Structure 1
Amino acid sequence: MGDRLVIVGDCGGTNTRLSLWSIPADAPEPKRKEKAPGTLQFDNKYQNEQHKNFLDIMKLFLEESKTSETPVAACLACAGPILDNTVSFTNIKNGWFISGSALEKQLNINKVLLVNDFTAMGYGLLTLADDECLILNDVPPKEGGVVATIGAGTGLGECFLTKDPKAKGYKCWATEGGHTDWAPHTDLEVEILAYARKKFRAKARVSVERIISGPGIALIYEFLALKKFPEKVTPAVHEKFMNGGAQKGGIVAMNTKECELCAQAMEIFFNAYASEAGNAMLKWLPTGGMYLTGGINVKNLEYYTKNTDFIDTMLDKGRMNAVLSTCPIMVAKTEDVGERGAHLVAYQLVSGN
């Protein structure tokens, strides 16, 4: 048996990243901190809002790859809960519905497996080398300990991994922790909560994902600029923001030096992010490692390195502070963790491991 082509996808609420890999038939199973085997043949990134549906993106990708061979399998990490190998995207305007079995027929692929994007992110953690992580505390990981991650992007993902007693490695457990309730800490955050309630017509609760995400950054800035401190608006930046569409959060993050309100919005965002990361640690006690993942982290590493505010807030859990201090905390410095996890699952699909 020769090499086999597989498609690996990281399908978020804003962008879809697809890659085509050739996997040798005799490829060995990767060890911890190693990527799954295979040779990259082609990859590309697509903005979801520029396409009618996901099938159009897949067809365009295969056309652009110029492959003459039909892939035998695909693993697509998708932003939403997976039910019977289908997903309804929760973070795309007007919604998208993807069916793995339908894609198999439409594209003539033997197996299309959909996994939650943070299931893929969890498996991707297993491929991270030491130099791909920013270590926030000097605590060694415990062998066989729970591993967990939280990552803000278009939404907020959370998952954890446990050592599988019947196998060599870890099993990843997806959660919908990003949809738990957000609890403000300051008087200003209480005002943001009231603003978000009105905006989303919520009776009481607002999920953490509404605040700790790219759209959450946009919401925080919107509150500061339109309601709280309109006199502090930087006109040129504000105009970019108002015309930013799905990229509004990124515009805020990129303009912190030019715009006081952008800087304040990012500080509020990272404070909330740290607090929720600590909440996740309380639930899973990840002595094998707590990882902060996602593109927002990679583009804003200075919020972790300029002082200890982030980790101080993360560990500020009263009587549980000492318990959380036994868990290693790291920031992934690469954006492709989810894709790596999906690649690992795709390798397992065709290798039978």
Structure 2
Amino acid sequence: MDVLAGDIGGTKTLLMLARVEDGQLIPGEIRRFSSADYPHLVPMVREFLDDHGNPGPAAAAFALAGPVTRHDDRWQAHLTNLPWQLDSHELARELGIRRVTLVNDFEGTGHSLDDLPADSLHVLQAGETDPKGVRLVVGAGTGLGVCIVCPGQSRLVLPTEAGHSGLAPADGQQARLWAAIHRQEGRCTREHLLSGRGLGRIARFLMSEGHAVDPTLAKAMEQADPAPELTRLALTGADPLAVEALSLFCRIYGGQTGDLALSTLPFGGVYIAGGIAPRILPLLANGGFMEAFLDKPPMTSLMARMPVKVITDTTAGLLGAARLAADKAP
């Protein structure tokens, strides 16, 4: 059986055909499309299927950046950064696919956990895995995604908007940062800091506290998105302020992930996803993230029992969409 999977973003869309044999998912080649080059998803998918000899997939699932609403077995979505309105029934009719499912992109990552190869998981803390335990997925990227994967044979992934919850500062420095963001934005949420834009906000806060700024960093901070250059300077150790900004980012990331873990008790595992984590893996593995994760007295020993892993495969959402399509196939 063939299934079609898609990961739809404002800039790019990834499409993949996967084969399902005896319940095992065998991913196929991934093709990337520029989303803005197409007026709608349908002509893009038709082109993709025609290029593959139109194998007639049994089902399709699309993970997308935007809210998804469900009415019985019908899913509808309006993408955040594209003028596309998607309806699962209309897509099924126009594409000739019996079953089409739409899901939020981060929820798609939650569906990928059982199919991720071992080499796409970097262990930060081995913990004591409970195969029947809840699993928590947290991922910083353009925003901050959070979902909960419930135990059981019928996989249930619970999406959340916990990234928009208020951030609780862990120390005096974070309290001053919280206050600065609150003055600018009217509140300080987790996503205000744990995102690409958040890294820039952290660097500007450190600059406001008198940290020296060299010309290279000053030029980077003039860019609309300074995060890539900040990350490069931090990972190479080329700029002390960049190093401190990313270090503070990791401490906040670990602390907030720990708070989320206290709310869900994910002894099945904590999975760090999103586009940022694989790029800063050396710093995540260097202590600050896990120190902040564990610093939850009187529950530190409880936190030490939770497995913590980084998902290094940035196409996990696509893999999850393929698994969801396989599960929903008629």
Does TM-score exceed 0.5, indicating one fold? Answer: yes
Once the two structures are superposed, the pairs formed by residues 114-263 of structure 1 within 5 Å of their partners are 114-164=102-152, 168-200=153-185, 202=186, 205-225=187-207, 227-229=208-210, 232-243=212-223, 245=224, 247-256=225-234, 257-263=237-243
1:190-245 CA deviation, whole Å, 9 max, x = no partner? 33223322332x1xx321111111121122223334x333x7223234324423x4
SS in 1 for 2:298: helix
Q: Is the partner of 1:185 in helix, strand or coil?
A: coil
Q: In the superposition, relative to structure 1, how do residues 277 and 28 fare at CA in structure 2: closer, same or farther (>3 Å)?
A: same
Listed one character per residue, the Cα deviations across residues 269-317 of structure 1 (whole Å, up to 9, x for unaligned) are: 11110011101110111111111112211111111333x3221210111
What does residue range 22-61 of structure 1 map to in structure 2 within 5 Å?
Answer: 22-23=18-19, 27-30=21-24, 36-40=25-29, 42-44=30-32, 46=34, 51=36, 55-56=39-40, 59-60=43-44
Give the match for residue 33 of structure 1.
none
> Matches of 2:77 and 2:221 in 1, distance apart?
31
| Structure 2 length-normalised TM | 0.85
SS in 2 for 1:144: coil
Identity %: 25
Q: 1:344 deviation in Å?
A: 0.6
Contact 1:5 1:70 in 2 (8 A): no
Two-structure CA RMSD over aligned residues (Å)? 2.8
Q: Distance in 1 between matches of 2:76 and 2:140?
A: 23
Distance 1:267 1:89, change over 3 A: farther
Tell me the alpha carbon deviations over residues 154-201 of structure 1, each in whole angstroms, 9 at most, x when there is no partner. 11111112223xxx353211111111111222333233223322332x
Range moving further from structure 2, 70-79 or 286-295 = 70-79
For structure 2, list consecutive stretches of 5 or more residues without a partner in the other structure: none
Q: Which has the higher contact order (CA 8 A, sep 6+)?
A: 2
Matched-pair contact (CA < 8 Å) for 1:86–1:97: no
Quick check: 2:7–2:64 contact (8 Å CA) kept in 1? yes
Deviation (angstroms), 1:347: 2.1
Residue 307 of structure 2 corresponds to: 328
Using the alignment, how far apart are the partners of 1:69 and 1:348 within structure 2? Answer: 21
* Gap runs ≥5 in structure 1: 31-35
2:117 & 2:313 partners in 1: Cα distance? 10
Q: Return the letter of the residue paired with 1:156.
A: L
Shift of 1:19: 1.8
CA contact (8 A) 2:129 2:307 kept: yes
Which residue number corresponds to residue 279 of structure 2?
Answer: 299
Deviation at 1:22, TM superposition (A): 4.9
Residue 142 (structure 1) shift:
1.2
Q: C-alpha distance in 2, partners of 1:111/1:78?
A: 17
| Of 16, 21, 39, the match for 2:17 | 21
**How much does 1:103 deviate?**
4.3
Q: CA deviation at 1:134?
A: 1.9
